């Protein structure tokens, strides 16, 4: 049964949470992500069939890959620290967290690949030089492979 009292907490969360689309989001989400990360904008690079939007935050470079259709199909990072993946992964973040929690840990291994439905997240590196990338295989533009996301 619906009661107005049940709607209030949901509305409060909707107002308090920033609307960041990130991976899988529209072109406007690139700027929203930059603001949410408090990152400085770097030049955009045009590639065959997509664009790479770069930003830097605290010694870490973040790249968001935008298809010609205007959808973010991948993100990558490299630098001193891992950026806020909840911001970069947007709606994919809960699936990533759950898959990461379930994935087996390999002692001594510095790389990690986590797969969830419609999502691949790879992380590697060492202290003060971490790297990673994430993408939705279903969103890759025609003729573009995951190798383009670096």
Note the pLDDT tens digit of each residue in 117-140: 999 999 999 888 999 999 999 999
Nearest to 29 by CA among 15, 42, 18, 40: 18
Rounded CA gap, 134 and 96, in Å? 10
Per the domain annotation, does 2 fall within a domain?
A: no
Distances (CA, A) of 73 to 51, 56, 119: 10, 19, 10
Per the domain annotation, does 95 fall within a domain?
A: yes
Per the domain annotation, does 29 fall within a domain?
A: yes
Separation of CA 119 from chain center: 10
User: Which sign, positive or negative, has the C-alpha torsion 45, 127, 34, 147?
Assistant: positive
Range of the domain at 71: 18-147
Neighbours of 35 (CB within 10 A): 13
Determine phi and psi for 139, rounding to 5 degrees: -100, -5
More confident call, 45 vs 18: 45
Rounded CA gap, 59 and 128, in Å? 9
Per the domain annotation, does 57 fall within a domain?
A: yes
Per the domain annotation, does 5 fall within a domain?
A: no
Q: For the segment 24-46, what is each residue's pLDDT rounded down to a tens digit?
A: 999 888 888 888 888 888 889 99
Per the domain annotation, does 38 fall within a domain?
A: yes
SS3 (DSSP) at 11? helix
pLDDT of 16 above 90: no
Q: How many domains does the chain have?
A: 1
Single pTM value for the model? 0.80
Kindly report which listed range (1-10, 89-98, 126-135) carries the lowest average pLDDT score.
1-10
Element (H, E) at 97: helix 93-102
Per the domain annotation, does 52 fall within a domain?
A: yes
What's the whole-number average pLDDT of the chain?
Answer: 84
pLDDT at 107: 83
Per the domain annotation, does 24 fall within a domain?
A: yes
């Amino acid at each position: 049964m619906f009661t107005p009292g049940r709607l209030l907490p949901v509305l409060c969360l909707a107002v308090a949470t920033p609307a960041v689309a990130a991976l899988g989001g529209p072109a406007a989400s690139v700027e929203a992500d930059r603001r949410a990360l408090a990152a400085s904008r770097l030049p955009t690079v045009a590639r065959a069939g997509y664009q790479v939007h770069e930003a830097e935050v605290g010694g870490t470079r973040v790249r968001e890959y935008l298809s010609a259709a205007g959808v973010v199909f991948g993100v990558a990072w490299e630098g001193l620290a891992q950026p806020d993946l909840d911001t970069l992964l947007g709606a994919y973040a809960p699936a990533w967290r759950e898959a990461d929690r379930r994935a087996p840990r390999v002692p001594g291994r510095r790389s990690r690949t986590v797969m969830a439905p419609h999502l691949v997240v790879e992380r590697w590196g060492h202290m003060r030089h971490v790297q990673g990338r994430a993408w939705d295989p279903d969103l890759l533009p025609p003729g573009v492979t995951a190798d383009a996301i670096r």
